[in-house]
Amino acid sequence: MDYEQGCWADYNAKDVFLMGKLSYILGRALRMDYGELFRTVGVVHGITGRNRPAVLADIVSCGLRYGAGFNDYLLCEFYNLTPEQRATYVTRGVNNTLVHMLNDPEYYKYFDYKSAFYSTFAEFIGREWLDFPAISKEQFAEFVKDKDAVIVKPNDGTGGKGVEKLTIADYKSVDMLFSKLKEDNIGVVEEVLKQHPGLNELNPYSVNTLRIVTIRNETGGHILYAHLRIGNGGRPVDNLHSGGMFAPIDLDTGRIQYPAYDKDRKTYEKHPMTGVTIQGMQIPLWEQAKELCLKASEVVPQMRYVGWDVAVTPERPVLVEGNNLPGYDILQMPPHTPDKIGMLPRFREFVDGI
């Protein structure tokens, strides 16, 4: 797909952006979880003291004007922002529209299914793995014979759901483990990544991944922003929906800019399980991680807006997965936006007409 083309080929970028926002608003109105909406109204009422009808009216107004969902309103604290500040935020509606503008659905398959992703981006994976539905019991036995544990993943899972670290010795036989994975419809089995000592010191219970977001335009690939995602609670994944936290990374220096934050709106100066200070921490092999993502963005150029999850091993950064709908939920959180200016101006540096 040429850069001049898109999912809305008969319209210019501005038309696409406006139509996308309208489509988002109408779709959300039809699919709205109204119970959760009114719960959010109550939470904001408790925080601000404003009466509930006024809060509800403001949430609806932000949906219409900025494509903001009620979660955007709460998490980004729209109730503390001026109209001018609100207009700088990448909301759910804005993010969905950017995906429609920049990514070709014909190529989602290379990102939606882990086995397809691992095959397509094989040079960046950096670990042994199996397309589990396609292998025999004998091949599986050969794969695990020299391993103490493996990571298993559903083929199309998101948000860390279904990802487990399994210890081989916990099963009476390899045959029993193989049968269990067949019953669980596992898509990928892979070796356990060993993470860089610098990140292991911060949280040794999971691989703490970098989320590096790239965008491609007529001048090539560019890095929009990056965060470190940090596991919490002893789980083997670092996803926000699994209790993890996140902190933005300075693109030039590779240092963490602010304390970490989570989906429960808690701020962490130090990791609660290890006591390691988060702000100011240097990401190891940072320049190599950036280079990895820029090279990966060239493989499927029809996907111009991608969020890459990167693990840093002692030797080099490697890809964990790519997201064709980059989550915007780690952007613009209050502790990370002291000036109350969102990320939309950053996107406008690389995308015309938004």
- So what CATH class is 105-115+195-323? alpha beta
Strand partners, 227: 211, 248
CATH superfamily of 128-191: ATP-grasp fold, A domain (3.30.1490.20)
Q: What is the pLDDT of residue 297?
A: 98
Cα–Cα distance measured from residue 333 to residue 91, given in angstroms and rounded to the nearest whole number: 12
Q: What is the pLDDT of residue 70?
A: 93
Q: What is the pLDDT of residue 148?
A: 96
Give per-residue pLDDT as tens, 287-319: 999 999 999 999 999 999 999 999 999 999 999
**Tokens describing residue 262:** 């989570």
Task: Indicate the length of the chain as a whole number.
Answer: 354
**Tokens describing residue 114:** 């882990």
Cα–Cα distance measured from residue 57 to residue 37, given in angstroms and rounded to the nearest whole number: 12
In angstroms, the Cα distances linking 295 to 200, 210, 221, 222, 266 are 26, 16, 8, 10, 35
Q: What is the pLDDT of residue 26?
A: 58
Q: Which residue has the tokens 């406008």?
A: 348
**Phi, then psi, of 15 in degrees rounded to 5:** -60, -45
pTM for the whole structure: 0.88
Burial 124-137 (b: 16+ CB within 10 A, else e): bbbbebbbbeeeee
Cα–Cα distance measured from residue 67 to residue 94, given in angstroms and rounded to the nearest whole number: 6
**Phi, then psi, of 317 in degrees rounded to 5:** -75, 150
Domain residue limits, the chain = 13-102, 105-115+195-323, 128-191
Q: What is the pLDDT of residue 78?
A: 98
**C-beta atoms surrounding 53 within 10 Å:** 10
Q: Do residues 213 and 307 make contact, with C-beta atoms less than 8 angstroms apart?
A: yes
pLDDT tens, per residue, the chain with 354 residues? 333 333 333 334 555 455 555 565 556 556 668 899 999 999 999 999 999 999 999 999 999 999 999 999 999 999 999 999 999 999 999 999 999 999 999 999 999 999 999 999 999 999 999 999 999 999 999 999 999 999 999 988 665 667 899 999 999 999 999 999 999 999 999 999 999 999 999 999 889 999 999 999 999 999 999 999 999 876 656 666 667 899 999 999 999 999 999 988 899 999 999 999 999 999 999 999 999 999 999 999 999 999 999 999 999 999 999 999 998 878 899 999 999 999 999 999 999 888
Q: Do residues 63 and 28 make contact, with C-beta atoms less than 8 angstroms apart?
A: yes
In angstroms, the Cα distances linking 91 to 86, 96, 190 are 9, 9, 35
Give per-residue pLDDT as tens, 22-44: 565 556 556 668 899 999 999 99
Q: What's the N-to-C CA distance of the chain in angstroms?
A: 20
